């Protein structure tokens, strides 16, 4: 059976990863000189507790090529001949490039190997790459071939729709997504930027005043854009406030015709440090 891997920015919950036998390759999260492995040594809740206690905002680093090569080796040792590894967009992280280097390193060390390894530049962030990961797992379990799955994710990866809104604009300022002046005005007017992916990078696509307007924007765009044939499940992400994610789930159920599965999952530290508290996201495949 094909082995599925992903870097930790996919933000898929551990219960789902376990159910699909998916392994993660953690990014490094550095806080005041101490390195942590994303989702292994540190959780999102504990990270924001550190911030509230006065710690500096974390920086993140991609997994090393050596780590990728070692994970590929473990998959082969476990009997897998086909490996699909889904990485965060190369426009926002060096994870994909590191994965390609790790693949080359593994093949150089094992020139006799006939294993097939495909590294996907998902052109997505957070649960966007996670959506492709879960879809791949479903296709694998439904009998699709490795080649069919690779073709699907490469063909459809730019159709995974992302919407992300935040409460605390300071984290977006530090990541260079919006200006300080925009943040001050936004805070005064209770304006919440909504971000999506454009050409593999995050971009502000709308600005709404207040949470209810954010909900309205999400529901309208979802209803207009969803590919009903491909979107059999939706992912809702959050950083600190699960109730807001539950509220969005309720609105999807009551205000749209969608009847598929809705998963609510917390973002990992590697993503949440750039989003900040109060982040809310929605992911599905568009037409």
pLDDT tens digit string along 238-267?
Answer: 999 999 999 999 999 999 999 999 999 999
Lowest-confidence region among 121-135, 182-196, 199-213, 245-259: 182-196
Structure tokens at 223: 């209803």
Of the residues 157, 183, 212, the one at which a domain ends: 157
CA atoms within 13 A on the CB side of 280: 22
Kindly state whether residues 174 and 264 are assigned to the same domain: yes
What are the helix (H) ranges across 157-179? 170-174
| Rounded percentage of the chain residues whose pLDDT exceeds 90 | 77
Please state the rounded mean pLDDT for residues 22-30: 97
Kindly state whether residues 132 and 231 are assigned to the same domain: no
Kindly state whether residues 148 and 179 are assigned to the same domain: no
CATH code: domain of residue 35: 3.40.50.10170
DSSP string across 66-104: HHHHHHHHHHHHTT-SEEEEEE--TTT-SHHHHHHHHHH
Structure tokens at 3: 């082995």
Kindly state whether residues 143 and 21 are assigned to the same domain: yes
Judged by phi (left if over 0) then psi (alpha if -120 to 50, else beta), residue 16 lies in: alpha
Kindly state whether residues 57 and 113 are assigned to the same domain: yes
The per-residue pLDDT for 276 is 87
Instruction: Provide the terminal-to-terminal Cα distance of the chain, rounded to the nearest Å.
Output: 30
Please state the rounded mean pLDDT for residues 7-12: 98
pLDDT digits (tens, 9 = 90+) for 148-170: 999 999 999 999 999 999 876 66
Question: How sure is the predictor about 205, in pLDDT bands with cuts at 50, 70 and 90?
Answer: confident
Residue 56: how many other CB atoms lie within 10 Å: 11
Of the residues 94, 126, 157, the one at which a domain ends: 157
Beta strands 82-87; 201-209: pairing state = unpaired
Kindly state whether residues 150 and 170 are assigned to the same domain: no
| Residue written as token pair 């059999």 | 232
Q: How far is CA 107 from the centre of its chain?
A: 27
Question: How sure is the predictor about 46, in pLDDT bands with cuts at 50, 70 and 90?
Answer: very high
Structure tokens at 65: 């090529």
Please state the rounded mean pLDDT for residues 214-232: 97
Kindly state whether residues 115 and 210 are assigned to the same domain: no
Please state the rounded mean pLDDT for residues 110-137: 97
Kindly state whether residues 80 and 195 are assigned to the same domain: no
Kindly state whether residues 10 and 152 are assigned to the same domain: yes
Q: Is the pLDDT of residue 70 over 80?
A: yes
Rounded CA-CA distance 270/47 in Å is: 10
Between 201 and 67, the more confident residue is 67
Question: How sure is the predictor about 185, in pLDDT bands with cuts at 50, 70 and 90?
Answer: very low
Residue 253: which domain range? 160-285
Kindly state whether residues 31 and 139 are assigned to the same domain: yes
CATH code: domain of residue 166: 3.30.1180.10
Of the residues 157, 178, 212, the one at which a domain ends: 157
Query: Number of structural domains, the chain?
Result: 2
Q: Is the pLDDT of residue 54 over 90?
A: no
Kindly state whether residues 68 and 38 are assigned to the same domain: yes
Kindly state whether residues 153 and 200 are assigned to the same domain: no
Please state the rounded mean pLDDT for residues 67-81: 98
Q: Name the pTM for this structure.
A: 0.93
């Amino acid at each position: 059976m094909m082995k599925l891997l992903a870097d930790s920015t996919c933000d898929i919950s551990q219960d789902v990863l376990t159910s699909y036998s998916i392994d993660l390759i953690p990014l490094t999260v550095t806080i005041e000189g101490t390195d942590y492995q994303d989702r292994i040594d540190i959780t999102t809740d504990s990270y924001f507790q550190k911030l509230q206690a006065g710690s500096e905002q974390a920086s993140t680093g991609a997994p090393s090529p050596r780590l990728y090569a070692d994970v590929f080796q473990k998959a082969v040792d476990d009997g897998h001949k086909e490996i699909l590894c889904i990485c965060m967009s190369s426009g926002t992280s060096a994870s994909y490039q590191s994965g390609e280097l790790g693949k080359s390193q593994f093949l150089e060390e094992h020139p006799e190997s006939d294993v097939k390894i495909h590294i996907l530049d998902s052109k997505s962030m957070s649960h966007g790459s996670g959506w492709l990961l879960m879809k791949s797992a479903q296709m694998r379990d439904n009998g699709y071939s490795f080649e069919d799955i690779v073709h699907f994710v490469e063909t459809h990866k730019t159709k995974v729709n992302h919407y992300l809104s935040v409460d605390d604009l300071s984290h977006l300022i530090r990541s260079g997504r919006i200006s300080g002046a925009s943040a001050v005005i936004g805070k005064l007017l209770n304006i919440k930027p909504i971000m999506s992916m454009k050409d593999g990078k995050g971009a502000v696509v709308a600005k709404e005043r207040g949470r209810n307007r954010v909900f309205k924007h999400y529901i309208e765009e979802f209803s207009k854009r969803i590919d009903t044939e491909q979107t059999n499940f939706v992912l809702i992400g959050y950083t600190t406030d699960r109730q807001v994610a539950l509220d969005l789930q309720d609105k999807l159920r009551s205000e749209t015709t969608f009847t598929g599965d809705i998963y609510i999952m917390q973002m990992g530290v590697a993503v949440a440090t750039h989003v900040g508290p109060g982040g809310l996201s929605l992911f599905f495949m568009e037409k």
